[in-house]
Every structure is written in C-alpha cells, then in structure tokens.
Amino acid sequence: MLQQNIISSSSPKQRRLRVMIADDIQETRRSTRLMLSMIPGVRVIAIAHNGREAVQLARKYRPDIAIMDVNMPQVDGLRAIRALQQTNPDMVCIVMSAERDSQVMSEAMAAGAQDFLIKPFTLEELEEAIQKAKEIIKEKQARQQKLEEQRAQRELWLKQKANQFIEERRTDNEALRVFEALAADPQCEPRWLMYLAVIYVFRQQWRKLRILAERLERQTRISA
C-alpha cells in the first residue's frame, strides 16, 4: 500500500524542504534516508520502491525534491522524471546511478534532472546536491513571486483604467483592450463583463456578444 511508504513526522516550526526517495534497492533507500536525516532543513515525506510508485507518491504529496534512481522496475527514473515534470515542474530532481555514464547523465538532464549522484555517494556529496537544489528552489520562488507581483500590478492598472473608462463612457479600441484583458480572467467581476457587453453592442460585435452573454448566464446560474 502506498500509505505505508509515507514518512510521518511532527510539524516543524519552520518549513523544511520535503524530499522523496525513489529506489528499488532497500539498502540505498535506508542509507539515503539516514543521510538526509543528518542534513538540516530537510524532511523525508515519501519513499518509493519503483518508478510507478514514485510518480503516484509525488503527484499526491508534491515534494520539493525527488532523489531518484535511474534504473527501476515498472517505470524507470527517466520516464518517471518526465511524467513528474508535467504535473510538478517546480520539483527539483536529483538522479542516482551506480554507473558514471555520460550518456545516462545527459539523458537525465534532458529529462529534467538538475543534479546527478554516483552510488555509493557520501553524506558530503548528498549535502552538496541538496544545497544546489535549495538554491534552485529559492530562485524559482523568487521568479514566481516577481511574476505574481507583476500580475497584481497589471490587474490593478487594468481596474483603474476600467473605472475611468466607465465614467467616461468610452467604447473605443483602448477601452475594448482593457475590458477584454480583464475578461480573460475566469474569475472576472461581472461588472467588467457587463460593460464589455455594452462595448460589443455599440461596436456591433454580435458574435463576441453572444459568447459573453452565455458566460454571464453560466455565472448567474452558478451564483444562484
């Protein structure tokens, strides 16, 4: 059962990086988990015995870091990484292999892995890989925060313009662009959609008006 492979632990005061281990060899799973317990700021949340199980556990628990063997039964590590990159692109993958094969390393990086460990690896090597993963995660989080701030600023500017255009009763091209940009948000406020409908009527854009009317009707049914 998958539930048996979940590692329980008390909630830390400060969030630690959540790590999943995936390897079909029991000794590797145990030694990797033991070494990870000696690295500050890290918490093992799941252990998978093969690639298929790794995909299932990672999709359910969304770890920050996955340490995965290349050669595993059912689904190998590379196929598992490709599958996980589609559902959790922010997860950092560290690949393990018993062979120092440049072709395998290249394929792992192409699949989405960010680092490569040769088994058996030392605590220092694992700690270095985890530190690299931390930096990658920090950079991704900083980029995501910047994007969210930019989206929030753009949304605020659009709403300010929309209020201005409603007061001025504008239906020109600039007003059309602003209200259609607001309408691109699935959670757009009904008042912006209503004024966009007015613009479509004024400009005789009947096809767009019909689509917008259907959307407003659906929203009305949902909120009723």
pLDDT tens for each residue of 52-94: 999 999 999 999 999 999 888 777 778 888 888 888 888 999 9
CB atoms within 10 A of CB 1: 5
Q: Does 120 share its domain with 171?
A: no
Domain coverage including residue 127: 2-141
31 with 134, same domain: the answer is yes
Domain identity same for 104 and 171: no
Provide the CATH number for the domain around residue 59.
3.40.50.2300
DSSP code for 5: G
For a pLDDT cut of 90, what percent of the chain falls above it?
65
Same domain, 136 and 157: no
Q: Which of 111, 141, 171 is the last residue of a domain?
A: 141
Nearest to 6 by CA among 56, 74, 42, 72: 56
What pLDDT, on a 0 to 100 scale, did the predictor assign at position 11?
42
User: Under a CB-based contact definition with an 8 Å cutoff, are residues 46 and 6 in contact?
Assistant: yes
Among the candidates 120, 141, 162, a domain finishes at 141
CA dist 120 and 31 (Å) reads: 10
Q: Are 56 and 70 contained in the same domain?
A: yes
Residue 154's Cβ-count burial label (10 Å; 0-12, 13-18, 19+) is: exposed
- Structurally, the chain folds into a number of domains equal to 2
Helices 123-168 and 190-203 cross at an angle (nearest 10°) of 50
Residues 8 and 91 in one domain: yes
Straight-line distance from the first to the last Cα atom of the chain, in angstroms, rounded to the nearest whole number: 43
Shortest CA distance to 6 belongs to which of 51, 76, 61?
61
Are 94 and 19 contained in the same domain? yes
Residue ending a domain, among 82, 114, 141, is 141
Alpha carbons 202 and 50: distance in angstroms, whole number: 61
Q: What are phi and psi of 190, to 5 degrees?
A: -60, -30
Taking 3-state DSSP, the helix, strand and coil percentages for the chain, each rounded to the nearest 5, stand at: 60, 15, 25
pLDDT tens digits along 6-61: 444 444 355 789 999 999 999 999 999 999 999 999 999 999 999 899 999 999 99
Partnered with residue 47 across adjacent β-strands are 21
Amino acid symbol at 147: L
